[in-house]
Amino acid sequence: MSEEKNQAMIIKALGKLQDKEINLVLLGDGAEMAKLKTLTQEMKLTSRIYFLGWKTNPYPYIKNASLLVSASKNEGMPMTLLEALALKTPVVSTDILCGPNEILTAEFSHFLTKPLDLDDFVQKINQALISYPIIAESAIEKFKVDTIVNHYLGIIKEIV
């Protein structure tokens, strides 16, 4: 839980979603935890938000989620987006400088939101919960180890 991950925007979005039965599970720990819990109380969302702390294996949570959302203000390579797609879990993410727009391409690019735009974020979450493209293996093919290794071997062969 940190400011750059922007979980506060996710909490605010939950309060604005059309479906008031949707719950939010937040995994992890960090400096922003107390602020996020206070925000949850202020928004009267304590019955819909679960702070589960750090999990060594988050995959069962991701696999069983209706949606994985990321509101990060910045990222390197957002592995959780790739992990979610590999587990066939729909993703909505902010379209920050690098990362998400390299992962959410083609029909998935519609689920990239303007950074810090709560209304756009809420709209894309609502849409994703109603209808999301089928997540085929090809969605993450270019990020698989074999694909990356073969790419680098091709570059090395060109140089040698």
The string of pLDDT tens digits covering residues 58-72 is 999 999 999 999 999
Q: What is the pLDDT of residue 63?
A: 97
Domain assignment present for residue 148? The answer is no
The DSSP 8-state label assigned to residue 28 in this structure reads -
CATH code assigned at 109: 3.40.50.2000
Q: What is the pLDDT of residue 69?
A: 98
Domain assignment present for residue 145? The answer is no
Domain assignment present for residue 109? The answer is yes
pLDDT tens digits, residue range 89-142?
A: 999 999 998 889 999 999 999 999 999 999 999 999 999 999 999 999 888 788
pLDDT at 152 over 90: no
Q: What is the pLDDT of residue 36?
A: 98
Domain assignment present for residue 138? The answer is no
> What count of other Cβ atoms lies within 10 Å of the Cβ of residue 124?
22
Q: Are 103 and 75 in contact (CB under 8 A)?
A: no
Percent residues over pLDDT 70 in the chain: 100
Q: What is the pLDDT of residue 141?
A: 82
Q: What is the pLDDT of residue 62?
A: 98
Domain assignment present for residue 154? The answer is no
The DSSP 8-state label assigned to residue 123 in this structure reads H
Q: How many domains, in total, are found in the chain? A: 1
* Backbone dihedral angles phi then psi of residue 70, each to the nearest 5 degrees: -130, 125
Q: What is the pLDDT of residue 153?
A: 86
pLDDT at 143 over 80: no
Range of the domain at 111: 3-133
Average pLDDT, the chain: 94
Sign of the C-alpha dihedral computed for residues 136, 72, 113 and 13 taken in this order: positive
Domain assignment present for residue 81? The answer is yes
